[in-house]
């Protein structure tokens, strides 16, 4: 029988009190809310979101489909763990979290089956299996129609008694004495500040991809979550390890294996090869090119610290001032850019989704440890379900024994941080400048061939991180984290060893 949602309490205007505060309504946030409400119906659970409809990488991605890993035998679980740990190296990873993903995958997918998601099927009516990016083993499921998937998740959370607060842009976690006591933001229609008091907070605001001018994160996400974690003093890791996808100017996916295929030439900018215009990939890379193409064809995102990333680096060296590479093919010119897609970094969490800040839990792209430098295709959707549920249960247990902050003290803390949140024209222009700077100089661990651009960008971000404009500060803090060079010495060494072999063809 459906449970009537218990609304959060208003005290006074623009102040909300709830027991468990869920920030974000993607796959991770909704699964966490569902778990919390089922675990303890006596506690109020409130999901706060900017928009009422499907948003972000979960429900608004351009493919209108999502994959989820399903290791459902001992052999598949062992292979899954081995692949995830190998791909994640050298990023920070917790093997215990990876093991939990494998162990609980079957139960979480079984729960998804109760939502009647539209999984792809074989001709015989069984669920079809596919290899995820970075794997040759066909063990992932794919479901289509993300609007339907969103509606299924939303109906489930509503039936559990979860309340929703729409139209609020989250701009920070409210902390005091080493703990999270709630969050704050602004009402998007009025611009008025909003205080959100809770016993426990679950952060599910998505990743930092929207900080970049070119991204494929889906609409409705701000990308400011990583900056909020940094602002609250939460320990984070793997921040520069974003997934980046090559695509046309309209965002349609392209693979470097085909972009640098036989007969194609890369038109280099004058800043890299002043006296030449076209570069033959086979002359630039050498005999390893075919092997690298074959490896790169197995995954859409560029993989950090992998030999096939040489192809991504070569294209990055061909970026022109507009941020696009020019590939000359027998059929004409292709202009390709590198788009930020999703983050592997976030708050370092334990098996319950708890962060280093007491009372704050993180899930989805706001959390890390079950992913490292790279991740297996379909592993993030699995993580939203496994650790979304675990964070919901962990937050419920925490909230059951936690007190709400005294209203007067909470109001005092809130008033101390709510300053300069107006959406000024100057602030919007600065945010655009940050986005364009990241998309030009901070792609894939630092864009090669662009001189001191990354160094200058990071100096600007460090200054902007002290801005009194809240959104600018958060974007700059997040930008500093994602733009940290990843120390990809292999790729730099490969280019240095091979650049003497380059004999570019003239146009």
- Cα 457 to chain centroid, rounded: 22
The dihedrals phi and psi of 458, each to the nearest 5 degrees, come to -65, -30
Q: Is the separation of the CB atoms in 495 and 313 below 8 Å?
A: yes
- Cα 141 to chain centroid, rounded: 21
Residues 274, 279, 285, 291, Cα dihedral to 10°? 160
Give the model's pLDDT for residue 405: 93
Closest CA to 28 of 303, 271, 265, 346: 346
452 band by pLDDT with thresholds 50, 70 and 90: confident
The dihedrals phi and psi of 274, each to the nearest 5 degrees, come to -60, -35
Q: What tens digit of pLDDT does each residue of 280-301 get?
A: 999 889 899 999 999 999 999 9
Residue predicted with more confidence, 493 or 338: 338
Q: What tens digit of pLDDT does each residue of 246-285 get?
A: 999 877 889 999 999 999 999 988 777 666 689 999 988 9
Domain architecture of the chain: domains with CATH: 11-241+344-417 (3.50.50.60), 246-340 (no CATH), 425-489 (no CATH)
How far apart are the C-alpha atoms of 477 and 475, rounded to whole Å?
Answer: 6
DSSP state of 3: P
The residues, any chain, with a CB within 8 Å of residue 274's CB and separated by 6 or more, are none
Q: Is residue 233 classed as helix, strand or coil in its secondary structure?
A: coil
Residues 444, 450, 455, 459, Cα dihedral to 10°? -100
Average pLDDT over residues 221-239: 96
Which residue's entry shows tokens 């998309």? 439
Closest CA to 204 of 341, 334, 46: 46
pTM (predicted TM-score): 0.93
Closest CA to 223 of 239, 246, 247, 202: 239
């Amino acid at each position: 029988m459906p449970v009537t949602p218990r609304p959060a309490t208003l005290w006074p205007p623009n102040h909300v009190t709830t027991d468990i505060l869920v920030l974000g309504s993607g796959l991770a946030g909704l699964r966490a809310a569902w778990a919390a409400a089922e675990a303890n119906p006596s506690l109020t659970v409130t999901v706060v979101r900017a928009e009422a409809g499907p948003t972000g990488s979960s429900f608004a991605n351009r493919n209108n489909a999502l994959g989820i890993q399903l290791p459902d035998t001992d052999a598949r679980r062992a292979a899954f763990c081995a692949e995830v740990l190998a791909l994640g190296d050298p990023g920070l990873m917790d093997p215990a979290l990876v093991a939990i993903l494998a162990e609980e995958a079957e139960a979480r997918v079984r729960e998804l089956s109760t939502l009647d998601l539209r999984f792809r099927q074989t001709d015989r009516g069984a669920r079809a299996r596919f290899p995820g990016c970075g794997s040759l083993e066909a063990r992932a499921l794919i479901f289509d129609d993300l609007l339907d998937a969103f509606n299924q998740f939303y109906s489930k959370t509503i039936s559990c008694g979860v309340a929703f607060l729409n139209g609020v842009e989250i701009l920070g976690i409210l902390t005091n004495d080493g703990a999270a006591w709630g969050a704050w933001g602004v009402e998007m229609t009025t611009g008025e500040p909003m205080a959100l008091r809770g016993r426990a907070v679950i952060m599910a605001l998505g990743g930092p991809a929207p900080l970049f001018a070119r991204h494929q994160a889906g609409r409705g996400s701000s990308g400011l979550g990583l900056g909020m974690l940094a602002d609250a003093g939460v320990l984070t890791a793997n921040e520069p390890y974003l997934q980046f996808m090559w695509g046309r100017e309209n965002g349609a996916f392209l693979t470097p294996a085909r972009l640098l295929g036989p007969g194609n030439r890369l038109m280099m900018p004058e800043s890299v090869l002043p006296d030449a215009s076209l570069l033959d990939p086979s002359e630039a890379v050498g005999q390893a090119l075919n092997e690298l193409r074959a490896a790169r064809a197995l995954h859409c995102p560029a993989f950090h610290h992998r030999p096939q990333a040489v192809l991504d680096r070569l294209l990055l060296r061909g970026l022109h001032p507009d941020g696009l590479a020019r590939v000359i093919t027998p059929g004409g010119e292709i202009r390709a850019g590198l788009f930020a897609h999703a983050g592997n970094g976030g708050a370092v969490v334990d098996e319950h989704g708890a962060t280093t800040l007491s009372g704050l839990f993180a899930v989805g792209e706001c959390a890390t440890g079950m992913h490292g430098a790279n991740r297996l295709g379909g592993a993030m959707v699995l993580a939203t379900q496994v650790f979304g549920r675990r964070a919901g249960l962990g937050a419920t247990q925490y909230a059951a024994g936690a007190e709400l902050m005294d209203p007067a003290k909470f109001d005092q803390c809130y008033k101390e941080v709510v300053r300069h949140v107006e959406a000024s024209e100057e602030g919007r222009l600065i945010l655009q400048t940050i986005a364009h700077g990241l998309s030009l100089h901070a792609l894939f661990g630092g864009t090669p061939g662009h001189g001191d651009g990354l160094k200058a960008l990071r100096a600007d971000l460090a200054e902007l991180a002290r801005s009194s404009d809240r959104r600018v500060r958060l974007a700059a803090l997040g930008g500093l984290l994602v733009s940290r060079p990843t120390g990809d010495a292999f790729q730099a060494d490969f280019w240095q060893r091979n650049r003497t072999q380059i004999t570019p063809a003239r146009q």
